[in-house]
């Protein structure tokens, strides 16, 4: 009897599903997309309703042939690719390529567990063409933007540059923040803290409030006024508040929290989440540990809610279980196609399965598990105390909080407020003793540069891209050298600023945040069957075509050529504007337009007065992705470098400390050195002739 063929994207997913299906099935992997637009040609017929030309991806023909051979042996084919637009498109391409004249069923697997797989195969579907068309529209939009703008960029800005519907707006958001920082003017302000003692020897710190102190003279005057004043409690306010848990993770929130708490990049987070979704061997069985990780919905199934409520009741007790399930509402723009990201089995707690997971898998799984279980627990009860203290004509305030009932914070311990100590018991008109006044000068700070987590939050809030696009977009803008990450924060490069400036001037729609967000909404409407995908493409291209024409047309000016008297136009080269004579090539007169963009940095090496202690050559200030540093001008013969701190001072290297050990390879003294992570180790003093190194013995 012929076996039924099941096709999924990845070998790991195939392996997991294969264990749940009987001997009547054979499970194969397509290794992702197998059909796509051609890599080296446009592949879109603009004259005939944007008809795409699909080809087999280079290197995938062998896989396609193997799948086709297996399909010929099978009477029934199940397409179990991921339950999103890309997965739907992969299934559609496979159906058209190898599944002709066969019974074909679409299988959606929101989670990969025995019961979920069985249910999915008992409730098969047809391929949803609205979802496929949304993917086609997205793919063609990106191809049109990339292929039409890139050649213009090569001519006007530089080679090997590219533009993208989402990536270019992402770069703009980073550059807009950099401009805010550049324009920022710090303002001086002072804080005045009173260190106080109660009659019962309790202590507290109160801060001057209701008065803006902007200079030292003003601060000194206040200190003088209150030093001998009586400090008396004028008002106390004690409130008991409930603090509820946040909903389970959606993709963007998972990426943000993994960035801030685990210091994972978005690509790393999604790669590990994919592994947890596709299946992990846990002893005698393999199971998907989390639900599908690309989602914008906080919805949770009734079965999962029942299971987690039983777990909370048994593990923590009745008081930690709310009377009914906590309900969370997804944002309006959510597609709500899949559940929130949650563990497939609450009983499979992180510590129980830690031995089966890599360190990264454990950290991410624990984050997801904790978030989900906490989301269905009772609120925490916090008692907050606020105190006003009068000192002459001035008011000081202090606040503190006490957790009366942990609630969900029994799991989400990091959700407690920091820097709010418990205040001593105070009542109105208690007299406090002043121990010390602490005036301190401050300056307002500019907005912070984006990290991966805060950038994803900004993209999510502005409606730019979708959960599945954040990680590859952030990866692309770094690979293209439009931005660089220094100590976790994104900085635009000269290339990024020059490209952004050109695109804003010539392709205002592509760089418009609202326009890009609206396009994402149109893709959602296509998927929901509310818009025709070809109509959306036509509407977009009508505006885009005008931008292309305008970008190729030099801008007219009233400036006259000093050589021939003809009018001059503004052209672009290497991302910079210049005046050029309209009678070119007869008259080749040009005139520079001075660059006034403060973000364009001079990154050429700058000579310093410092001399290299190794060869005597001058030391130069160079800039790397980590920031400025000193390098010998005798490079590559001399590779001496020195670090520069934030204040521009040279960080002198301390000579390595000698140990009492001798190198067993050459007899030289072993030195104690420190690696980039700050960890000490032993290295042979005969380096580079002897490269022996080993861990520092534990004392």
Q: Which residues are catalytic?
A: 292
Report the alpha-carbon distance of residue 150 to residue 157 in Å, rounded: 10
Is residue 338 exposed (0-12), middle (13-18) or buried (19+ Cβ within 10 Å)? Answer: buried
Report the alpha-carbon distance of residue 604 to residue 606 in Å, rounded: 6
CA distances from 643 to 235, 368, 525, 652 (A): 53, 40, 53, 8
Report the alpha-carbon distance of residue 292 to residue 286 in Å, rounded: 16
Residue labelled with tokens 């007869």: 586
Assign 344 to helix, strand or coil. Answer: coil
Whether residue 533 contacts residue 540, with contact meaning beta carbons closer than 8 Å, is answered with no
Report the alpha-carbon distance of residue 195 to residue 294 in Å, rounded: 51
Report the alpha-carbon distance of residue 320 to residue 315 in Å, rounded: 9
Pairing outcome for strands 483-486 and 203-209: unpaired
Whether residue 105 contacts residue 79, with contact meaning beta carbons closer than 8 Å, is answered with yes
Report the alpha-carbon distance of residue 27 to residue 8 in Å, rounded: 7
Name the packing angle between helices 494-506 and 533-552 (round to 10°). 100
3-state SS of 15-32? HHHHHHCCCCEEEEECCC
- List the 641-644 sheet strands across, edge first: 606-611, 618-624, 627-632, 641-644, 650-651
CA distances from 348 to 107, 124, 342, 387, 625 (A): 26, 28, 12, 46, 42
> What is the DSSP track for 626-687?
TEEEEEETTTTT---EEEE-TTS-EEPPPPPEEEEEE-TTT-PEEEEEE-TTS-EEEEETTT
Report the alpha-carbon distance of residue 423 to residue 568 in Å, rounded: 73
Helices within 38-188 (DSSP H only): 61-73, 85-98, 114-122, 129-156, 167-183
Whether residue 510 contacts residue 149, with contact meaning beta carbons closer than 8 Å, is answered with yes
- Beta bridge partners of residue 606, listed in sequence order: 621
Neighbours of 218 (CB within 10 A): 16
């Amino acid at each position: 009897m012929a076996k039924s063929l099941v096709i999924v994207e990845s070998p790991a997913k195939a392996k997991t599903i294969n264990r749940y299906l009987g001997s009547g099935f054979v499970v194969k992997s397509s290794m992702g997309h197998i059909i796509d637009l051609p890599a080296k040609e446009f592949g879109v017929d603009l004259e005939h309703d944007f008809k795409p030309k699909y080809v087999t991806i280079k290197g995938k023909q062998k896989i396609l042939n193997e799948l086709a051979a297996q399909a010929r042996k099978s009477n029934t084919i199940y397409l179990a690719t991921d339950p999103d637009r890309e997965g739907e498109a992969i299934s559609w391409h496979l159906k058209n390529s190898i599944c002709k004249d066969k019974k074909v069923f679409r299988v959606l697997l929101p989670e990969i567990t025995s019961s979920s797989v069985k249910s999915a195969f008992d409730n098969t579907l047809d391929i949803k063409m609205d979802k496929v068309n949304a993917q086609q529209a997205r793919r063609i939009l990106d191809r049109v933007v990339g292929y039409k703008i890139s050649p213009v960029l090569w001519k006007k800005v530089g080679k090997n540059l590219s533009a993208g519907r989402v990536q270019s707006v992402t770069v703009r958001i980073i550059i807009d923040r950099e401009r805010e920082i550049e324009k920022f003017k710090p303002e001086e302000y002072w804080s005045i803290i009173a260190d106080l003692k109660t009659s019962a020897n309790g202590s507290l710190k109160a801060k001057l409030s209701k008065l803006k102190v902007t200079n030292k003279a003003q601060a000194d005057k206040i200190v003088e006024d209150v030093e001998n004043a009586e400090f008396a409690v004028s008002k106390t306010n004690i409130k008991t508040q409930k603090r509820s848990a946040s909903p389970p993770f959606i993709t963007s929130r998972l990426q943000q929290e993994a960035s801030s708490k685990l210091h994972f990049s978005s690509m790393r987070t999604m790669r590990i989440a994919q592994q947890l979704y596709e299946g992990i061997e846990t002893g005698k069985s393999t199971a998907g540990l989390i639900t599908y990780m690309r989602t914008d919905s906080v919805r949770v199934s009734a079965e999962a809610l029942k299971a987690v409520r039983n777990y909370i009741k048994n593990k923590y007790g009745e008081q930690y279980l709310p009377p009914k399930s906590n309900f969370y509402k997804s944002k309006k723009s959510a597609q709500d196609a899949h559940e929130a990201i949650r563990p497939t089995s609450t009983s499979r707690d992180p510590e129980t399965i830690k031995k089966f997971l890599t360190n990264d898998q454990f950290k991410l799984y624990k984050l997801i598990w904790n978030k989900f279980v906490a989301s269905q627990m009772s609120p925490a009860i916090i008692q907050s105390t606020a105190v006003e203290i009068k000192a002459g004509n001035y008011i000081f305030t202090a606040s503190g909080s006490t957790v009366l009932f942990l609630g969900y914070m029994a799991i989400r311990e990091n959700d407690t407020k920091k820097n709010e100590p418990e205040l001593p018991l105070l009542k109105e008109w208690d007299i406090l003793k002043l121990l010390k006044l602490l005036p301190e000068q401050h300056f307002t700070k500019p907005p912070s540069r984006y990290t991966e987590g805060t950038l994803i939050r900004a993209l999510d809030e502005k409606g730019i891209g979708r959960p599945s696009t954040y990680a590859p977009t952030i990866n692309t803008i770094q690979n293209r050298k439009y931005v660089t990450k220094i100590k976790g924060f994104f900085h635009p490069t000269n290339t990024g600023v020059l490209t952004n400036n050109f695109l804003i001037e010539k392709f205002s729609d592509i760089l418009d945040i609202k326009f890009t967000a609206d396009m994402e909404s149109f893709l959602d409407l296509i998927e929901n069957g509310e818009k025709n995908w070809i109509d959306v493409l036509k509407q977009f291209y009508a505006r885009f075509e005008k931008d292309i024409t305008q970008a190729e047309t030099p801008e007219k000016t009233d400036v006259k050529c000093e050589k021939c008297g003809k009018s001059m136009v503004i052209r672009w080269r290497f991302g910079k504007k210049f005046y050029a004579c309209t009678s070119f090539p007869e008259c080749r007169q040009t005139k520079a337009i001075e660059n006034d963009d403060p973000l364009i940095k001079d990154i050429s090496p700058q000579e310093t007065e410092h001399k290299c202690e190794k060869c005597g050559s001058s030391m130069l200030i160079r800039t790397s992705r980590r920031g400025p540093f000193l390098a010998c001008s005798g490079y590559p013969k001399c590779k001496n470098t020195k670090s520069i701190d934030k204040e521009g001072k040279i960080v002198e290297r301390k000579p390595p400390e000698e140990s009492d050990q001798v190198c067993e390879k050459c007899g030289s003294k072993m030195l104690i050195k420190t690696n980039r992570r700050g960890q000490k180790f032993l290295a042979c003093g005969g380096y580079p002739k002897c490269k022996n190194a080993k861990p520092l013995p534990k004392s």
